[in-house]
A and B are shown apart, each in its own frame.
Chain A
Amino acid sequence: MTARGAGARLPLVAPAAVGVAFIVLPLLSLLVRADWADLATHLAAPVVGQSLRLSALTTSITMVAVWILGTPLAWLLARSEHPLTAWGRALVTVPLVLPPVVGGVALLMTWGRRGVLGGWLESTLGVTLPFTTAAVVMAEIFVALPFYVISVEGSMRGLDRRFDEIAATLGAGPVRTFRAVVVPMVLPGIAAGSALAWARALGEFGATITFAGSFPGRTQTAPLGVYAALERDPQAAIALSLVMLLVSVVVLGALRSRWLR
């Protein structure tokens, strides 16, 4: 590049560089401030293992639910020509832009003891959902499902309609077409959507603390664990943060190399 060219680009390069620094600096600081010598000890703190195990459990259940509910939903949204489909799509995406804590309040208003369904649930089945591990999973599904549905619907809409038509002429009904043609063909999109949804579920904080609270071993997931430990045992909080950073980077890396080339 010529000197003049470099000068001409400065108004673009400078803000871009500041942007990169703004993101990279905190990540580096996390690494710099970590107590690497005693990392093993910090990782052994009860809050670390306990909250990570709970996060692994709840996000796994969340993902299964997201697949079972989200994949058919994405397909119906992708192929429906009904005028109300656009509304359906908009409603499903609300949690994407909703502050998570509002989502938590909304869940409480639905499933809480005085909630729209919660009261009935308690009186007939004796089930109370708020402040249980189940509530953690519900909060995670609430925030993660839209990510998955939007991402998968995008790749399903890109699928040539003539594949569905050919499958139909070959005798495949809607369910078989979905299972044997659509899902295998959009597998890359499903993987990408799953990674996004899972990362969102793993990081979920606001809805969880509102709807499920922060009880160690029961509802205190890794992000809640970090927050709780930050006062008492900052190095444990940093160690736990490092684990989540590592996991995020691995997920992103896997996503990039396999599906997002």
Chain B
Amino acid sequence: MTRLDARLGVAVGGFDVEADLSCDGGVTALLGPNGSGKTTLLKALAGLLPLSGGQVRVGGRTWADAARHTHVAPEARSVGMVLADPLLFPHLTLLDNVAFGPRSRGMPRAGARARAAEELGRVGLADLGSRRPGQVSQGQAQRAALARALATDPVVLLLDEPLSALDPQTRSATRADLSHRLRDFPGTTILVTHDPLDALTLGDRLVFLEDGRVVQAGTPTEVIARPRSPYVASVVGLNLLRGRLAADSSPTLELADGARLVVAGVPEDARPGDRLLATVNPAAVTLYSERPAASARNLWELEVAAVTVTGQRARVRLRGIPGTDLVAEVTLPAVAQLGVVAGRRLWAGVKATEVEVYPEA
């Protein structure tokens, strides 16, 4: 196994990105909002951008070291790169596209073509080798791009939103192909995505980037259970509230601007004043059109900001708790009964037992 030891600092046009992407094989999913620096990091790993700080070492070889002004050119590193657009060379057949890498690294034509045919076969494109990129579908082109990236046996595979340009059906099929192909790839994969499904199904480890800094890293299970930033919480579909433990007799969090959240329990070592995070599953939020006889311990009167429908359920974004929006997931009949439209004022209730509390740091 070749270990990727990457502590990167990159400065591009006044924006600087710093992240530790060290890992030992497997798939690291890199998530973050647009403009958080994900692509910048990939380019720095590939050698397409210079480092302003830190270093990249792969299996004992130094690819870049800012302190020692070392920078190995992209063509001399061992990376494969797949972007959202397949970017197959339009003047070459699929076979020659895939053979391009081995040829560039000095393999004789016949050997390179045999290797290319093998790689095309592994992504299910054995019969399409003689086609031009313009003559295949988007999904096929993207699989060919993956085959091309892997034909050089890269140590590090960089995937930059490889599924984002595909239509939903093709995306799902291509995600399955990608997952299958990555399973027998021995190197390290960095997958940039903003699709939670990609990250959770393909990633062994998730790294969240916001404004050029890592805000959370961990296994999918860890991240799902304990998101540490509003963005991470929104990716895993939870409400995240931030507060300090109050000095009350019953466990309560003081949120921003005097709002309070009654919870069932707090970590044993938590003391009054400690900063805590709390998650609430949107499905555990109950909506009422009028103030109910208090069954839930937490009750707020809020304004509907937006409603989106998926299948039989709707996600209702509510505004009014200082510092955060609350998302409630309710059934379609409930939406109809309550008359949920943007601007409507509703009561939202959350039982104390439905709140998960953990330390902020």
CA distance A176 to B103 in the complex (A): 10
Residues of B close to A163: CB separation below 8 A: 87, 89
Give the tally of cross-chain contacts (CB within 8 A): 62
CB-CB contacts below 8 Å: B67-89 with A: 73-75, 77, 79-81, 83, 85, 87, 89
Residues of B close to A165: CB separation below 8 A: 43, 46, 48, 74, 81
A9 within 8 A of B: no
CA distance A90 to B22 in the complex (A): 47
Given A176-B104, A180-B100, A169 contacting B87 (CB threshold 8 A): no
CA distance A166 to B146 in the complex (A): 12
A172 within 8 A of B: yes
CB-CB contacts below 8 Å: A153-199 with B: 160, 162-163, 165-173, 176, 180-181, 184-185, 187
Residues of B close to A181: CB separation below 8 A: 89
Given A165-B46, A165-B81, A166-B81, A172 contacting B104 (CB threshold 8 A): yes
Tell me how far the C-beta of A176 lies from the nearest C-beta in chain B, rounded to whole angstroms: 6
B148 within 8 A of A: yes
B101 within 8 A of A: yes
Q: Is the pair B90, A171 in contact by a Cβ cutoff of 8 Å?
A: no
Given A176-B104, A180-B100, A184-B91, A168 contacting B85 (CB threshold 8 A): no
CB-CB contacts below 8 Å: B40-70 with A: 43, 46-48
Which residue of the partner chain B has the closest CB to A184? B91
CB-CB contacts below 8 Å: B133-192 with A: 148-149, 152, 158
Residues of A close to B46: CB separation below 8 A: 165, 168-169
B344 within 8 A of A: no
Tell me how far the C-beta of A190 lies from the nearest C-beta in chain B, rounded to whole angstroms: 13
Q: Is the pair A171, B101 in contact by a Cβ cutoff of 8 Å?
A: yes
CA distance A172 to B152 in the complex (A): 11
Tell me how far the C-beta of A175 lies from the nearest C-beta in chain B, rounded to whole angstroms: 10
- The listed residue (B47, B77, B87, B90) touching A166 by CB distance below 8 A is B87
Tell me how far the C-beta of B102 lies from the nearest C-beta in chain A, rounded to whole angstroms: 8
B105 within 8 A of A: yes
Query: What residues make up the interface of B, taking CB atoms closer than 8 Å to A?
Result: 43, 46-48, 73-75, 77, 79-81, 83, 85, 87, 89-91, 100-101, 104-105, 148-149, 152, 158
Which 3 A-B pairs have CB atoms at the shortest separation, nearest pair first? A170-B101, A171-B104, A168-B74
